[in-house]
Amino acid sequence: MTQAPTGPLTATTLSPASDLAAPGGLANILAATRLLLGAWDATLNQWGSTATSGPVLTPEQALQAQALRRAALPASDGADAAFRHAPDAASPPAQAHAQAAPAAQATLSVQMLDGLQIWVGSSQVLDLPRGKARALLMYLLLHRRRPTSRARLCTLFWPEADAAAARNNLNVILHRVRRQLHDPGLLQCSDDGYQIVTAGEIWLDVEQFELQANLGEQADIAGLTAQAIAHYEVAATLYRTDLVDESEHERVLIARSQLLRDQLNQVLGRLSGLREDRSDLHGCLRTTQRHLGLDECNEAAHRRLMRCYARLGQPQLAERQYRQCVATLRRQLGLNPDAETTELYRRITRRESI
């Protein structure tokens, strides 16, 4: 798996809190986010995977950087607004790898989980609207480890066209892709098929999301809660939107998109649970609201919100959450809440300790 273009992150990189939290707009946000995206590097160092010349950034410092990044953003309106919105996107890969050591810089940086954005070196390229050219480029990037044959591409993207028409369509689309990349050499053709090839590293947010989610799970299983939270947080931050929608042009990527969404669902569930266990109730609220946004019938998420509100001294919000749960389950599934959910509601209405 290709590593993020950040390089080992040392504690000497961490600016004083006052520097990051002070008004400074995008520069402060990017600085804090770079620290967050480097948290996984620090954890790998702690596990003995690499060595650095200075003390590495700890997961706790990574979480501090995340908090500082949030503090640099404008406050949202409304008491619940902060809980409804997804975490802010990570800094663009081009901004992140620009701070890395030259050997770790990525030749090509690709963001797919916030729309399709591509950087060649430090220059952003690409102006492809949703359609087959965009979907084809995304497919080749996601399957770049080996060439994809012309026949397979024709079958995937033009399954109902005859062979000649499909080949012609493919040639037209490939020409558009090469032109948009501003570097014809990136898309190479051989006897085995087509492949995205660069002299340096390729940074892909999809791969980083999967890596962070997997590292979080490993740390979680090992009981390394702080590290697990740091990895899960980075994964959740990287995932801004689904890989693709359900348009006809992007149907070849729908299965991969659903797998990523399922993985996000697991990440948010574990992250919210770990935060609740550590009594980080505000963090738990933010994460659980986003988790519930993936599946509004997730009764466990409704209960977690109810518990958080109750423990924060806002039983009326917990009761409102229960009513929302009841209405949603009846509307979507024609069901009533589980006994566990109803009993929690009764305890809250009796103002019992939760």
- Write down the domain spans for the chain: 11-88, 295-354
Nearest to 153, CA basis, from 145, 116, 168: 168
Distance CA 161, CA 153 (A): 12
pLDDT confidence of residue 201: 85
Q: What percent of the chain has pLDDT over 70?
A: 69
Mean pLDDT confidence for 233-255: 88
**Dist. CA 153–CA 165, nearest whole Å:** 13
Q: What percent of the chain has pLDDT over 90?
A: 55
Q: What is the mean pLDDT of residues 198-217?
A: 92
Residue 5 pLDDT exceeds 70: no
Of 346 and 177, more confident:
346
List phi, psi (to 5°) of 69.
-60, -45
Residue of 272, 281, 287 lying closest to 309 (CA atoms):
281
Virtual CA dihedral for 216, 219, 222, 226, nearest 10 degrees?
A: -110
CA distance 279 to 124: 41
**CB proximity list for 303: less than 8 A, separation 6 or greater:** 340, 341, 344
CA distance 329 to 240: 27
Backbone torsion region of residue 222, taken as left when φ is above 0, otherwise alpha when ψ lies between -120 and 50, otherwise beta: alpha
Confidence of residue 14 (pLDDT cuts 50, 70, 90): very low
Mean pLDDT estimate for the chain: 77
Would residue 241 be called left, alpha or beta, if left means φ above 0 and alpha means ψ between -120 and 50 degrees?
beta
Q: According to the model, what pLDDT value does residue 88 have?
A: 36
Reported as a pLDDT band with limits 50, 70 and 90, residue 229 is very high
Tell me the pLDDT tens digit for each residue of 129-186: 778 899 999 999 999 999 999 999 999 999 999 999 999 999 999 999 998 887 778 8
Global model pTM greater than 0.75: no
Question: Backbone phi, then psi, for 10, in 5-degree steps?
Answer: -105, 160
Q: How confident is the model at residue 7 (pLDDT cuts 50, 70, 90)?
A: very low
